[in-house]
Amino acid sequence: MNRAWTMFKSHPYISNVVGYTTLFATADLIQQSMMGKTLIKDTVKQDHDKEILAVKRDPQPHCIDWSQTARVALVGFCFHANFNYHWLRALEKMFPGGGTKRISIKVFLDQLIGAPTTISAFYIGLSTLEGAEDPFKDWRNKFWTSYKTGVVFWSTMQAVNFSLVPPVARTVYVGGVTLFWTVFLCHIKQQKTDSLS
């Protein structure tokens, strides 16, 4: 444990970015594994005289979509890990230390600026990497659901982060919490738009 802590202190940027990216990609693998257990294929039998005779639901074996995980890792590495590293450092520089007032300001600013930025980058970045015709479609349809849920979840998590976690390890802490958050975002991203309305 002392070696890991020494590495964090001597190479905070690399440790935080690599740790965050690993946790971010792992979240997609967890989400795919969880959803894979309930993956159902609808088979429609048709008759020429009748429209639809029956719909048969067959569970399908699930395989991990490694290209999806690679896209999530790329968005995590290129944007999220770097943004969070610099964003958390900037908040600490502007409002150093703890105390209820400073922690509240940091949490408020994080939810006002950081949360919309990272949620937007997630949806727009993944849609762009997937080659979507309209990379803003998922963002338009799913942003508010994600943001409203995130305000409750992340306000609590960031209050813990700003009050208990040393600044050098805050990005990896956020990466650990993001493991759960990204499972949620990946699940929402895979949902059909009309099921969220």
pLDDT digits (tens, 9 = 90+) for 132-181: 999 999 999 999 999 999 999 999 999 999 999 988 888 888 888 988 88
Mean pLDDT of the region 20-31? 87
Residue type, 16: N
As a dihedral over the C-alpha atoms of residue 174, residue 175, residue 178, residue 180, rounded to 10 degrees, the angle is: -120
d(CA 13, CA 77): 12
Residue 40 gets which letter from DSSP?
E
pLDDT digits (tens, 9 = 90+) for 77-105: 999 989 988 999 999 999 998 899 999 99
Give the residue extent of every domain in the chain: 2-195
Query: What pTM does this model have?
Result: 0.77
Residue 107 pLDDT exceeds 60: yes
d(CA 111, CA 81): 17
